[in-house]
Structure 1
């Protein structure tokens, strides 16, 4: 079951309003592989709350002068760490309560 934060339901215009980033910058970050919006049937971009948080992190790092290639490496590391944490928590729950992994 995915979190509400991961559902792709927000239009690019709203994301721009929320983040203060131009549509052009948001598209550029997508082109650089920093995030992957969903698509509507007509090809419009749809973003999640998690995507908005990622864009805010990207904007902060860019303001610090960090290049997009380095930001991409950081994002990949963050995802890997989160997966490891999730697996550890599942293992701990299984050990503590005898729950099966799904």
Structure 2
């Protein structure tokens, strides 16, 4: 995630910095609710070496989303499925971006290859030789013909 106008050592949205009591307060929930969500796998915070939970800004946002969906009447199982599907959508969107970049790179490479149309001619012994567009092969006798071939029949 890009940082703008932040101190280089400032935590980003992914850095687990909040203990459970602070995260619960930020999310407007009871700490026991956060423990339940962790057990159910809805919001799984990082753990310290001693086993304490540490929540990131992203985790707190996710807790707020779970709370919002719960208040709208969605069951915890439904919320879990919604979160799973949102993760899948995010992963698929990321993959689509990767594939679009690969296709654009391949198109660019193909266009570069096509922009330098290759021209071939018959050499002095009847062999095929490549020449630059607009260039004639070295003539060894006057009756030599120039043959042009371009990929794709253009």
TM-score clears 0.5: yes
TM-score, scaled relative to structure 1: 0.84
| Gap runs ≥5 in structure 1 | none
C-alpha distance in 2 between matches for 1:5 and 1:87: 22
Cα deviation, residue 93, structure 1? 2.5
The residue number in structure 1 matching 2:78 is 70
Aligned residues: 97
Q: Does 1:91 align with 2:99?
A: yes
Cα deviation, residue 97, structure 1? 4.8
TM-score, scaled relative to structure 2: 0.58
Match of 2:26 among 4, 18, 40: 18
**2:13 aligned counterpart, secondary structure:** helix
Cα deviation, residue 13, structure 1? 1.6
The residue number in structure 2 matching 1:61 is 69
C-alpha distance in 2 between matches for 1:19 and 1:44: 18
C-alpha distance in 1 between matches for 2:104 and 2:19: 42
**2:58 aligned counterpart, secondary structure:** helix
> As a proportion of its length, which structure holds more helix?
1
Q: Which has the larger radius of gyration?
A: 2
1:36-59 deviations in Å (ceiling 9; x for gaps):
111111111011111111101100
Question: Whose RCO is larger (CA < 8 A, sep 6+)?
Answer: 1
